Amino acid sequence: MKNFEQYSNLTVERDGAIVLIGLNRVEKRNALNDGLMLALRNVFESLPADIKAAVLYGQGEHFCAGLDLSELRERDAEQGMHHSRMWHRALESIQFGRIPVVSALQGAVVGGGLELACATHIRVADSSAFYALPEGARGIFVGGGGSVRVPRLIGEARMADMMLTGRVYGAEEGERVGFAQYLVPAGQALAKARELATRIAGNAPMTNYALMHVLPRIAEAPADNGLLMESLVSAIAQSAPEAKTRVAEFLEGRAAKLRAGS
């Protein structure tokens, strides 16, 4: 592996066609500040063209403990709105970037850390992970897209419960309600995320792009609009030379066989 760029609060390494991006504020449990958010945005907007998937993880024992409240400044309404919109742009560079992102979750996945995790496409949690939205108890509101992304995963009622009562979900219950798609033993989230990212990197790029950018919009569209979008994207994807090659390999018996649990 080789570092291709240096950041004070991120580690960025590549391994073949994937990149591993580590939140690196261990002394703050990887709490988010503006510098870290801007660094994430810069990384995801400037990845080399031959990178096909990413893994996002936290150095140390925690994924991310949320907003670094020690750096919270007094803002008027206009300043607060622009600050929130900066976070939105940073997280949109992950969710609606060029490549799929797999997050490896351990320890605290809290507040802004949960908002960050929800912007990734596949989430792998280990048994130490826990999820919370403590903003309600602190007199603030989510500002990094959580009011949009979290309900899409677990529903509006569960999110309201978390903020009203301070409810904390452990790893197993969090996986059941939809915070993570995979649950692994403690210490194994990064290895599993890396495995999945490597598999994703082998997909046809157009299919990956459609799953990131088009599928979420189809899911939110009226049925007739969604079906039209599906037809258009299906036609575009199957017309790509790589798709034709892969279909031919399958028809000729040269493609890998599907197996349960794979």
Q: Are 230 and 121 in contact (CB under 8 A)?
A: no
Distance of CA 205 to the CA centre of its chain: 18
Strands 169-170 and 130-132: antiparallel
Q: Are 225 and 160 in contact (CB under 8 A)?
A: no
Residues 5, 135, 172, 175: which is the catalytic one? 135
Sign of CA dihedral 28, 54, 162, 82: positive
Residues 45, 71, 115, 156: which is the catalytic one? 115
Is residue 115 annotated as a catalytic residue, yes or no?
yes
Q: Are 114 and 133 in contact (CB under 8 A)?
A: yes
Q: How many residues does the chain have?
A: 262
What H or E segment, with its residue span, contains residue 58?
Answer: strand 53-58
The one-letter code for the residue type at 247 is: V
Question: What per-residue string of b and e applies to 143-167 under the rule 16 or more CB within 10 Å gives b?
Answer: bbbbeebbeebbeeebbeebbeeee
Burial of 56 (0-12, 13-18, 19+ CB in 10 A): buried
CA separation for the pair 113, 62 (Å, rounded): 10
Catalytic residues: 115, 135
